[in-house]
Amino acid sequence: MADNDFHYELSDRELAARIWVRLRPYRRRIGWALTLLVFAVPFVNFHPLVWGFVADALVDQTLTSDVLVMWLSIMLGSYLIGIAAGAVQSYLLEKTGQAFVRDIRAELFSKFQEQSLAYHRDCRTGELVTRITSDVDAMEQSVLQGLTALVEEFVTFIVVAGMVLWISPIVGAVSIMPLAFAFIFIRKYNRRVKSLYAGVRKKLGNIGSFVQDRLAGILVTQSFGRRDHETEKFRENADHFYDSSVKASRLRNTYFPIVSVFGFLNNVIMLGLGAWLIMNDSSLFSLGALLAYRGFWWRLQSPIRTIAQTSDILQRARAAATRIMELLDKPVSIKNKPDARSLGSVNGAIDFNEVSFSYLQGKPILKQVSFSIKAGEFVAVAGGSGSGKSTLLNLIPRFYDVDSGSITIDGTQIKMVTLDSLRKKIGYVGQDHYLFDGTIWENLIYGDPAAAEEEIFSAAKKANAHDFILSLQNGYETQVGQNGVKLSGGQRQRLSLARAFLAMPRILLLDEPTASVEPESEFLIHEAVLKRSRESGGTTVLVTHRIDLLRQAPRILFFDQGRLAADGAHHDLVDGCSAYAEAYLRWEVEEANQISVLR
């Protein structure tokens, strides 16, 4: 099964439980914030009662200056207390929200680092970026801002409903009834919009992936004059996002006006029933009570409107939260066994025992491959395109796991040791010679952050990189740009070699280290690789079809269609393996053509 074949679905309760686990470290802060919220609501909503008391006192002609000052002081004081408590509560929740976002992003990034190369091969980078950025922001809105708004408005509704019922049980009960229908519509809306917002988040992820991919390949787009074509393809993705968003918007703008109408009916009933009672029997309802109800109407309708809007935010954020939890719960295919031990010092002997491997089920790349490499040996791996050469290298540090068979280092199965201890014994330099955005120095010490200056210079010299580094204006402090765009391909590859040399691995794996580099750099890289092999005493496994390296390699493993077809020195394979001889002649012609083009 492919690494990303993973069906994922969470109920609301399961999702809430997963989120709460990550909020638990902040439960005391959240508890204080919610306590302050509940404390603040009655104080902030007390003033309509004061209006009612003062109005009734004016009608009865019993209001004095002292009483008026008392009520005004109570109204102002209660509001200030509520605002102060609300400010502290808001700060506590915002602080918690930022900590939550930080923790989730760190957890996601750590998960990305754990996942296998197969996972990252199948995933679109832009979608992962979308999930760790905008999806996390949307989730934070849901968890703290949205839920806090719901709690605040719910408490407000309970407090205000209690006040209007206290003023007049009859008017209060009748005026609150329409709001029950508003809640029913909100629940129906939530059920229908859930799947729509899941689609919206998916379409947004598609846009992020498309932009990431096309910006990475901008040179190809411009060189083929495909700008209009790519713009049209982007427009198609944007249209899909637009269509999904409009569907959700249409549903929202169908339900929300109905909810608002029920909220306004509350106002109509308050005024109509209150006025009718005053006209017929002022002892049941007073003008002050009607004035207080007018102030409370807004606070009764506001929770309904806010709950409807917040429910909409929560449904958007639920889709984002599900996408995040899907990543966090995705099983890690390459991981340590429970009883894995640390790999100690090694000599560098490598054994493949009947190893088979396939990226896709039923399409094997390596077929029952067996060979042994002695500690300190220099071995070249050659073969046609798709013969499994690069795959073979990727299996040694467990970037992928074998389908069958086993790989051992110094007699120890690599599956029985921890990944970190295994990979620290292995240096790997691939074809893409990736450099991180930063200085040359920062990229080199990635191989050994504790390395001394002399060790760094020595590694750079061994990789034939020291001289060109010093020729740059800022030397080792030169900014290389994203993926080393400010350097040539050969310079990037030599820095990649130096980075690997600095780590001083006992096993060095090189995958076409001179692919796509200029002739001068190719010669320097060849020289560095061969010199390192002679001087370090470590094991070197080199994938190449360069004639010079094949001739100088003491031993060559030649692969043909996923099988080890021949094993021996260059002259032996030319004489004894027709497939190798044919491939060698083809590589000679290719190199000759490349040289003639460069001339």
pLDDT at 61: 82
Confidence of residue 6 (pLDDT cuts 50, 70, 90): low
Distance CA 493, CA 547 (A): 19
Rounded Cα–Cα distance for residues 529 and 463 (Å): 8
State yes or no: pLDDT of 488 exceeds 90. no
Residue 560 clears pLDDT 60, i.e. is over it: yes
558 beta partners:
382, 566
Phi and psi, residue 150, nearest 5°? -65, -45
Phi and psi (nearest 5°) for 542? -120, 120
Mean pLDDT in residue range 315-325: 79
Quick check: 4 pLDDT over 60?
no
User: Which DSSP string do the residues of 70-139 spell out, in sequence order?
Assistant: HHHHHHHHHHHHHHHHHHHHHHHHHHHHHHHHHHHHHHHHHHHHHS-HHHHHHS-HHHHHHIIIIIHHHH
- The pLDDT of residue 282: 62
Q: Alpha-carbon distance 214 to 211, whole Å?
A: 5
CB contact at 8 A, 477 and 439: yes
DSSP symbols for 289-339 = HHHHHHHHHHHHHHHHHHHHHHHHHHHHHHHHHHHHHHHHHSPPSS---TT
With contact defined as beta carbons under 8 Å apart, do 162 and 42 qualify? Answer: no
User: Domains of the chain: which residue ranges?
Assistant: 12-329, 434-504
Which CATH number is 12-329's, of 2.30.110.10, 1.10.10.60, 1.20.1560.10, 6.10.140.120? 1.20.1560.10
Residue 220's pLDDT band (boundaries 50, 70, 90)?
Answer: low
pLDDT at 119 over 90: no
**DSSP secondary structure of 539-557:** EEEEE---HHHHHH-SEEE
Question: Measuring CA to CA, how many Å separate 316 from each of 7, 41, 48, 84, 210?
Answer: 20, 27, 35, 31, 22
Six token digits for residue 137: 């922001």
Third-level CATH fold of 434-504: Rossmann fold (3.40.50)
Buried b (16+ CB within 10 A) or exposed e, 254-283: ebbebbeebbebbbebbbebbeebbeeeee
The pair of structure tokens assigned to 155 is 């408490």
Say if CB 245 and CB 202 are below 8 A apart. no
Mean residue pLDDT of the chain comes to: 83
Tens of pLDDT, residue by residue over 355-405, are 999 988 888 999 999 999 999 999 999 998 888 899 999 999 999 999 999
The Cβ-side half-sphere exposure at 116, using a 13 Å CA radius, reads 22
Q: Residue 90: what residue type?
A: S
How many other C-beta atoms lie within 10 A of the C-beta of residue 450? 6
**82: Cβ–Cβ under 8 A, 6 or more apart, which residues?**
40, 41, 42, 43, 44, 45, 46
Residue with tokens 């109005």: 55
3-state secondary structure of 165: helix
Taking the chain, what is the end-to-end CA distance rounded to the nearest angstrom? 49
Across 23-52, average pLDDT: 88
Q: How many CB atoms lie within 10 A of CB 170?
A: 13
Q: Which segment of 37-46, 97-106, 285-294 scores lowest on mean pLDDT?
A: 285-294
With 50 as the cut, is the pLDDT of residue 2 above it? no
CA atoms of 225 and 307, how far apart (whole Å): 51
pLDDT exceeds 50 at position 598: no
Among positive and negative, which fits the CA dihedral 178, 180, 183, 188?
negative
Between CA 464 and CA 284 the distance in angstroms is: 97
- What is the mean pLDDT of the segment spanning 157-176? 81
According to DSSP, the β-strands at 539-543 and 507-511 are parallel
Residue 446 carries which DSSP code? G
Q: What is the pLDDT of residues 155-165, one digit of tens each?
A: 888 888 888 88
Q: Are 397 and 415 in contact (CB under 8 A)?
A: no
Considering only CA atoms, which of 585, 533, 530, 580 is closest in space to residue 556? 580
22-31, 307-316, 385-394, 560-569: segment of lowest average pLDDT: 307-316
**CA 529 from chain center: how many Å?**
37
